[in-house]
Structure 1
Amino acid sequence: MYYLVYISAASKLMDDFELSEILKTSRQNNKERDITGMLLYSEGTFMQVLEGEEHDVIALYNKIEKDDRHKGIIKLASGQLDERIFGSWSMGFKSATSQEFSQISDFANSQNAGSSVHPSVAMLKSFFENNAMQLCVFATVFGSNFVF
């Protein structure tokens, strides 16, 4: 398994309809490639973790880099995973409430209990903490029926 984390700026602020269109497209593309992860959006900033086979993740990232809905893409981290971090999450979307933020914080804090937190989870948690009031969440992962 391979992971990649990036951050980017939206070309313009996005409304709920535009975000739901991204969600729909991401769901279809990720399912075809067996890619999981999480996409966060807050006030014009995206942060995404992608997980899957290395060639599939890199191909998707190359496609994302060409998407004109965002700019200033910066790859923050990438590398090998022993197993998926977000593999049991379903695709979901809504504005994050403080309760949902707490659930994500609990998830991030519980990852690898007794050992260090994976860098991708630490980056997502930091993004959450810095954007908790305005955060929209896309859990772009497939597997279970858990909707965030």
Structure 2
Amino acid sequence: MHSQLYRLVYFSKNRIVGGPAAITVEIDSILRSSQRNNTRMDITGALIFNTGIFAQVLEGPRDSVEATFEKIQQDVRHSDVQVLAFDATDQRAFARWSMGYFGRSRESQDLFGHIAAATGFTTAGLEGARIFEIIRDIAFEEEGRAA
């Protein structure tokens, strides 16, 4: 039986201590564990990290999405975790990504940078649908580069 898919979009503030090298190590750790755990839990999605903010989309069965998000909320590397959208969906937008990551390339930084500019560098104006569109668009561009 096919279980209902859900999509959760959230953002949080970065609480990783240290400079760029320490942040890179922690992000790599997050990605490795996410990719391993998400495959097992039937979760797909993508993460953007830039300007001190994480923005992420998680897709999968409701129980799996909720369990994964609970771990994120308890992770000391995140603070001020806020759900922007949590809705049922007909299909995955990130079906090929156990956890895509965008934030290393200059293009991704520029694409994410306009979120901060559009919201006055605060998280108050962030909307789930817009964050989802941005992450999805970046994922499609990355897939195009890999092809």
SS at the partner of 2:95? coil
Q: 5+ unaligned residues in a row in structure 1: which ranges? A: 105-118, 129-136
Identity of aligned residues (%): 34
Q: Note the C-alpha offset of 1:84.
A: 0.4
In structure 2, distance between residues paired with 1:90 and 1:30: 6
What is the aligned partner in structure 2 of residue 9 from structure 1? 13
SS at the partner of 1:95? coil
Q: How many residues align?
A: 119
TM-score (norm 1): 0.66
- Give the helix-richer structure, 1 or 2: 2
SS at the partner of 2:9? strand
Q: Provide, for residues 78-119 of structure 1, a one-character-per-residue CA deviation record: whole Å limited to 9, x for no partner.
A: 111101011023655561232x67999xxxxxxxxxxxxxx8
Q: 5+ unaligned residues in a row in structure 2: which ranges? A: 113-126
| Residue 43 to residue 127, structure 1, CA distance change in 2 (3 Å) | farther
Q: Does 1:37 align with 2:45?
A: yes
Q: Provide, for residues 22-61 of structure 1, a one-character-per-residue CA deviation record: whole Å limited to 9, x for no partner.
A: 1111111101101001111002100011000011101111
Q: Note the C-alpha offset of 1:125.
A: 4.4
